[in-house]
Amino acid sequence: MDLIMTNQQKRIHPHKFTLWVVICSMVMMFAGLTSAYIIKRNQANWLTFELPVIFWYSSAIIILSSFTMMISKRAFAEREMGKYRRMLAITTLLGITFIVLQAIGFYQLSGSGITLTRNVAFSFLYVLVGLHALHVIGGVITLTVMLVRVFSRKSRNYSIVPVEMMSMYWHFVDLLWIYLFVFLLMIR
């Protein structure tokens, strides 16, 4: 009986497996895009650009949001629901702040003549950062749904699986941004 219980505990939850497949697909997509970026930057008409300073601030915000998500997950596991709610709300607000700062950064880029269609280098910048922003927006929407549910009196779900999945996804988009930011700083 113990052997059966041990084997069942080692299985990955089907939703977690699906999330891993999605994350692997996203890694492949961004690896392909950054590889294409490296190849294309050797073209004669490639223009270099400076990233707006506000991208540094947005980087700090998303890193901080990973810490608040980690605290939120730990609070849920320890059944400290008040702390879980606060940290989940802070993570959501930090995610929204990240998106707003990214939008301001793109506004600054556009104001300095770096637009989507002006040069292939700029197109890559918009595609890479824009796709990441879409994934963060998806995460913020999911965080918002979780936040509404945690404050709802109708729904009382004490399964840690959704919290673990959201935490895994959020840490992934954080690491992905760090990768993209360093990539864009180093390989212009």
Q: Tell me, what amino acid is at 82?
A: G
pLDDT digit string (tens) for the chain, length 188 residues: 555 555 556 788 888 888 889 999 999 999 999 999 999 888 888 888 889 999 999 999 999 999 999 999 999 999 899 999 999 999 999 999 999 999 999 999 999 888 878 888 888 999 999 999 999 999 999 999 999 988 877 766 678 888 999 999 999 999 999 999 999 998 87
- A 10 A CB-CB count for 154 gives 5
Ordered by start, the domain boundaries in the chain are 2-38+63-186
Q: Give the per-residue pLDDT at 96.
A: 97
Tokens coding 131 = 């796709």
- CA–CA distance from 139 to each of 1, 88, 98, 106 (Å)? 40, 12, 12, 20
**φ, ψ for residue 2, nearest 5 deg:** -65, -35
Q: Give the per-residue pLDDT at 97.
A: 98
Q: Give the per-residue pLDDT at 9.
A: 65
Residue 136's nearest CA partner among 110, 105, 104, 175 is 175
Residue 96's nearest CA partner among 67, 138, 126 is 138
Element (DSSP H or E) covering residue 94: helix 81-111
Span 2-38+63-186 CATH architecture: Up-down Bundle (1.20)
Q: Give the per-residue pLDDT at 145.
A: 93
Q: Give the per-residue pLDDT at 6.
A: 52
d(CA 33, CA 42): 15
Q: Give the per-residue pLDDT at 120.
A: 86
Q: How many helices (H) and strands (E) does the chain have?
A: 6, 0
Tokens coding 50 = 């400076």
Q: Give the per-residue pLDDT at 168.
A: 95
Element (DSSP H or E) covering residue 114: none
Q: Give the per-residue pLDDT at 2.
A: 53
